[in-house]
A and B are shown apart, each in its own frame.
Chain A
Amino acid sequence: MINTIVEFENVTKQYGDQKAVDDVSFQVKEGRIFGLLGPNGAGKTTSIRMLTHILVPDSGSIRLYGERVGAATQRKIGYLPEERGLYKKMKVGEQLIYLCRLRGLSKEAARKSITYWLDRFEATEWIGKEVDELSKGMQQKVQFIATVAHDPQCLIFDEPFSGLDPINSELLKEVILELRSAGKTIFFATHRMEQVEQLCDDIALFNKGKLVLNGNLSDIRASYGKNSIRLRFSGDNKFLDSLENVRINNRSVHFAEIRLLNGADDQAILREAQKHTRVEGFELIEPGLQEIFIDTISKEKTSDV
C-alpha cells in the first residue's frame, strides 16, 4: 500500500474578497512526482506557501505525513520558492550551513551534505565566494542545494526550471529523477506544460483558486482517447483556418496539433490537408496537457453559465 504524504482537505485561503484557494482537496502519494499546474494567479503559490506553513489556511486542514502542518513538519520539507533568494553578502558555504542548521541539521552533518552536493553540481570552488560574485545560473544551483541539502523527505519546487539554460535544466531534471528514485516525494508547481509531461506522475490542475482536475497523468490522457491529430506538412497552412469543429494547438508553419470536437472526421481533415499541402506526417494521438488544460477550463466556463 502506498502512503499518503500530503493531504489537502477542503482548504480555503482568502485575501480580502478574493479566494486565492477555494475549497481544495487532494492527496499526494509517496515517491511520486506531483505536478501542480495552472496559469499565473491560479492559487499554486498560495497552496505551496500553506504547505510550507508560511501561510495558514482560513479553513480546512493540510497534513504532511499524517501530521498537521506546522513547525515540526517544516523540517521534513525542502522548499525552492518561485522567486529565488539568498543572502547576497554571505559566503556560499556559510549560507548553506546556516540554512541546513535552521532545518535541524548538526554543523557536521550540514558540512558533509553540502560537500556532497557542491561536488554533484561541480561547484566546490564556490564555497568561499559571496553569493553576489556568482552568476545567475550559479546562484540557482546554490539555491537548489539549499533546498535539498538537509535531506528532506518531501521536496517542493516552485517553477524550478525558470531562468536555467538548457544544460542546467537537463542537469536539474536528472537530479529530480534521481531524488525520486531515492524515494523522495516531489511536489512541483509550474505553468510550463511540457515539463509536466516529461516529469510528473500525477497532476492537480488549478484555475482561479479551484482544483479543476486531479489524478494520474496517463489515466487522464487515456480517458480523452485518441481524439487529436498531429499533422506535419509543407505548403500553405491557411487551410487550417477553414476547418470546422476543431481546436488547433501548437500551430507553426509546418506543424499543428488538431483537437477533434463534436465528432469531427479525422479522415476528412486529412483529405483537406492533402488538397492544399504535401502531408509529411499524420498521427492520431492522445491530447497534450495543454489541450486537456484548455478543454477543462472551457468546460468550467460553460458550467458556470
Chain B
Amino acid sequence: MFDKEKLFLIIQREYLVRLRSKMFIVTTILAPVIMILLLVLPTLVMVLSSDHERRYAIYDETGIIARQMTESDSLSYRVSESDPSELREQLQAGQIEGYILIPHEVLDGQGNAAFYHDGSAGMTTTSKIRSDIRQQVRSVRLDRLDTSDEILAVINERVSVDNFTVTKAGEEADTGASAIVGLIMGFIIYGAMFGYGTIILRSVMEEKSTRVVEVIASAVKPFELLMGKVIGVAMLGLTQFLIWAVSGAVLMMAAGPLIAMFAGGGVDTAEAAEAAAITIPTIGPMVWVSFVLFFLLGFLIYSSLYAAVGSAIEQESDSQQLQVPIIMLIVIPIIFVMNVADNPTSTIAVVLSMIPFFSPILMPVRMSVISVPFWQFGGTILLMVLTFIVLIWLSSRIYRTGILMYGKKASFGELWKWMRQT
C-alpha cells in the first residue's frame, strides 16, 4: 500500500525540519519552565507575602486557652488586650485582619468560639484556627480531669493510613498521591492535542498555500504525504516528551542534595533526599506506558481531524469555524476530569473514558487512581485504533481534494462533498 522508501523520506523531512526549528527548541525549554512556575508560584507568593504580619488577636474569657495557643504558635496568634467592642472597631477600621472570641463556657463543653475577620481568611486559615482551639480546649479539659499520661498518649496518637491498590495479579502498588499525577498527565495530553494538532494543521495549510503540494503530489500519493507528516510529527512529540522526562529525572535526582544544601549543614543529605523523594509519588510503569500510548493514539485521532481542516484552508484565520468541533471534542473531557478523578469507577467515568475522543485525557487519569479492568483498557485501545483508521481514511479523502482547491473558503458542506467524491 505504501512506498516505504518515499514514506521514510517524508517522515524524515517532517521530523528533522521541525526538530531544528526555533519553535521546537523554544517550546521544549519554555513549557516545563512555565509548568514549574505555575506549580511553584502560589507557594512563592505565600512565602513572599508572609512577612507582612497576620496575627489574630484572641479575646479569651477562660484566661488559659489564648495563652496556650500563643505559646504553641506565636506567629499566628496573640493575646488581646482590648475588649471585643474595641477589637471590632479595629477590624472595621482595617487595623487588624481578624480576632477570635473564646467564651468561658467552652471549658464546660458549652458555647462556641467565634472567629471574626475581614474576609481575607480562607478555608485553610479557618480550619487551622478551628483545630488549634479544639486541641487546646481538649487538653485543658483533660488536664482538669486528671487524666493519666497513658490515656493522653492514646488520645494524641496519630494513625496514618497507607494506601494500596490490590490488582487481580495480587500486586500491591502505592497509589498515594497519584491522582495528581494522572491529572497532570491528562492536562499535558490536553495541551499536546492542541499543540501538535495545530502543527499538523499549519503544515498541511502551508504546503497548500505555497503550492508545493502539487510538486509533491506528482511524486507521491497524497495519503503517503499525509501519513508521513502525521508519523513525523508524532515522533517529534515523543522526542519532546523524552527530553522532558530525562531532564526531569536528572532534576529529581539532583533535588535531594539541593534541598540539603538549602536546608544547611545540619540536615543529613540522605535524609533530605528521602524527604524530597517522598513528595514525588512513585508511579507504576503501566501508567507511563499508557500515558505514551494514549498520547500517541489521541494525537493520531486529532491529527487526522486537523489535517482535514488544514487541507480546506489557505490561511489560518479561515480555520476558526472548521476548528470549533475539534476544540469542543478536546475540551469536553477537561470539564469532566475532576469528576472522573474523584469517582473513577462510576458508570459515567467508565463510559466517558472509553469514548475514543475523550480517552486520551480521561483514561490516564483513571489509570493513575485505580487499576482499570483489562477489558476497559484493551477495549478503549481497540476503539481508538478503529476510530483512527476510519478518521484517517475520511480525512485523506477530504485532503486529496482539498489540497488542490484554491480561492474558495470551504464550508462543512464542501468537506462533506469532497469526502464522497470518488
Flag A79-98 by CB within 8 Å of B: 1 or 0 each.
10101111111100000001
Whether B213 contacts A85 by the Cβ 8 Å rule is yes
A146 contacts the other chain (Cβ, under 8 Å)?
yes
Flag B83-127 by CB within 8 Å of A: 1 or 0 each.
000000000000000000000000000000000000000000000
B335 contacts the other chain (Cβ, under 8 Å)?
no
Instruction: Give bound CA distance, A103 to B219, whole Å.
Output: 6
**Which B residue sits closest to A16, measured CB to CB?**
B417
Instruction: Give bound CA distance, A89 to B214, whole Å.
Output: 17
Inter-chain residue pair count (beta carbon < 8 A): 63
Whether B214 contacts A77 by the Cβ 8 Å rule is no
Whether A87 contacts B210 by the Cβ 8 Å rule is yes
A173 contacts the other chain (Cβ, under 8 Å)?
no
A294 contacts the other chain (Cβ, under 8 Å)?
no
Contacts of A175 in B (CB 8 A): none
- Which of the listed residues B17, B212, B216, B404 has the most CB atoms from chain A within 10 Å of its own CB? B212
Whether B215 contacts A89 by the Cβ 8 Å rule is no
Instruction: Give bound CA distance, A86 to B13, whole Å.
Output: 14
Stretch at the interface among A48-56, A197-205, A278-286: A48-56
Whether A85 contacts B218 by the Cβ 8 Å rule is no
Contacts of A74 in B (CB 8 A): 218-220
Contacts of B217 in A (CB 8 A): 52, 54
Please give the residue numbers on chain B whose beta carbons come within 8 Å of chain A beta carbons, in ascending order.
Answer: 3, 5-6, 9-10, 13, 17, 21, 206-207, 210-221, 404, 406
Whether B6 contacts A85 by the Cβ 8 Å rule is no
Instruction: Give bound CA distance, A52 to B406, whole Å.
Output: 19
A230 contacts the other chain (Cβ, under 8 Å)?
no
State which size class the interface on A falls in: 20 to 34
Whether A86 contacts B210 by the Cβ 8 Å rule is yes
**Which B residue sits closest to A78, measured CB to CB?**
B218
Contacts of A84 in B (CB 8 A): 211
B205 to chain A, nearest CB (A): 13
Contacts of A87 in B (CB 8 A): 17, 207, 210, 212
B233 to chain A, nearest CB (A): 15
Contacts of A222 in B (CB 8 A): none
Instruction: Give bound CA distance, A173 to B218, whole Å.
Output: 23
When A and B form their complex, which 5 residue pairs have the shortest distance between CB atoms, in order from nearest?
Answer: A85-B211, A85-B212, A83-B211, A52-B218, A79-B218
Whether B215 contacts A99 by the Cβ 8 Å rule is yes
Whether B210 contacts A102 by the Cβ 8 Å rule is no
Instruction: Give bound CA distance, A79 to B218, whole Å.
Output: 7
Contacts of A49 in B (CB 8 A): 214, 404
Contacts of A99 in B (CB 8 A): 215-216, 219
Whether A81 contacts B210 by the Cβ 8 Å rule is no
**Which B residue sits closest to A88, measured CB to CB?**
B210
Instruction: Give bound CA distance, A260 to B136, whole Å.
Output: 120
A101 contacts the other chain (Cβ, under 8 Å)?
yes
Given A54-B404, A71-B3, A98-B9, answer yes or no on A85-B219 (Cβ-Cβ < 8 Å). no
Q: List 23 A-B contacts (CB under 8 A).
A: A54-B404, A71-B3, A74-B220, A75-B219, A77-B218, A79-B215, A81-B211, A81-B215, A83-B214, A84-B211, A85-B212, A85-B214, A86-B215, A87-B210, A87-B212, A98-B9, A99-B216, A101-B9, A102-B6, A102-B10, A102-B219, A104-B5, A146-B215
Please give the residue numbers on chain A whose beta carbons come within 8 Å of chain B beta carbons, in ascending order.
Answer: 49, 52-55, 71, 74-75, 77, 79, 81, 83-90, 98-99, 101-104, 143, 146
Contacts of A75 in B (CB 8 A): 219
Choose one: A52, A54, A71, A86; the contact of B212 (CB below 8 Å). Answer: A86
Given A52-B218, A74-B218, A74-B219, answer yes or no on A89-B9 (Cβ-Cβ < 8 Å). no
Given A81-B211, A87-B212, answer yes or no on A53-B17 (Cβ-Cβ < 8 Å). no
Contacts of B216 in A (CB 8 A): 99, 102
- Which of the listed residues B10, B13, B21, B406 has the most CB atoms from chain A within 10 Å of its own CB? B13
Instruction: Give bound CA distance, A74 to B215, whole Å.
Output: 11
**Which A residue sits closest to B220, measured CB to CB?**
A102
Contacts of A85 in B (CB 8 A): 207, 210-215
**Which B residue sits closest to A48, measured CB to CB?**
B218
Given A71-B221, A89-B17, A90-B17, answer yes or no on A102-B214 (Cβ-Cβ < 8 Å). no
Choose one: B6, B13, B218; the contact of A54 (CB below 8 Å). Answer: B218
Instruction: Give bound CA distance, A77 to B217, whole Å.
Output: 12
Instruction: Give bound CA distance, A220 to B10, whole Å.
Output: 46
Contacts of B10 in A (CB 8 A): 102
Contacts of B6 in A (CB 8 A): 102
Contacts of B221 in A (CB 8 A): 71
**Which B residue sits closest to A74, measured CB to CB?**
B219
Extra A-B contacts (18), CB below 8 Å, given A81-B211, A85-B215: A49-B404, A74-B219, A74-B220, A79-B215, A79-B218, A85-B211, A85-B213, A87-B17, A87-B207, A88-B206, A88-B210, A89-B17, A99-B219, A102-B6, A102-B9, A102-B10, A102-B220, A103-B219
Instruction: Give bound CA distance, A104 to B13, whole Å.
Output: 16
Instruction: Give bound CA distance, A89 to B217, whole Å.
Output: 19
Instruction: Give bound CA distance, A219 to B12, whole Å.
Output: 51
- Which of the listed residues B10, B211, B220 has the most CB atoms from chain A within 10 Å of its own CB? B211
**Which B residue sits closest to A146, measured CB to CB?**
B215
Contacts of B13 in A (CB 8 A): 98
Contacts of B215 in A (CB 8 A): 79, 81, 85-86, 99, 143, 146
Contacts of A104 in B (CB 8 A): 5
**Which A residue sits closest to B225, measured CB to CB?**
A102
Whether B218 contacts A53 by the Cβ 8 Å rule is yes
Instruction: Give bound CA distance, A74 to B207, whole Å.
Output: 20
**Which B residue sits closest to A46, measured CB to CB?**
B404
Instruction: Give bound CA distance, A99 to B215, whole Å.
Output: 8
- Which of the listed residues B10, B206, B218, B406 has the most CB atoms from chain A within 10 Å of its own CB? B218
Instruction: Give bound CA distance, A103 to B207, whole Å.
Output: 18
**Which B residue sits closest to A101, measured CB to CB?**
B9
Whether B210 contacts A54 by the Cβ 8 Å rule is no
Instruction: Give bound CA distance, A75 to B218, whole Å.
Output: 9
**Which B residue sits closest to A103, measured CB to CB?**
B219
Instruction: Give bound CA distance, A90 to B218, whole Å.
Output: 19
Instruction: Give bound CA distance, A49 to B213, whole Å.
Output: 12
**Which B residue sits closest to A90, measured CB to CB?**
B17
A192 to chain B, nearest CB (A): 20
Instruction: Give bound CA distance, A98 to B214, whole Å.
Output: 15
**Which B residue sits closest to A77, measured CB to CB?**
B218
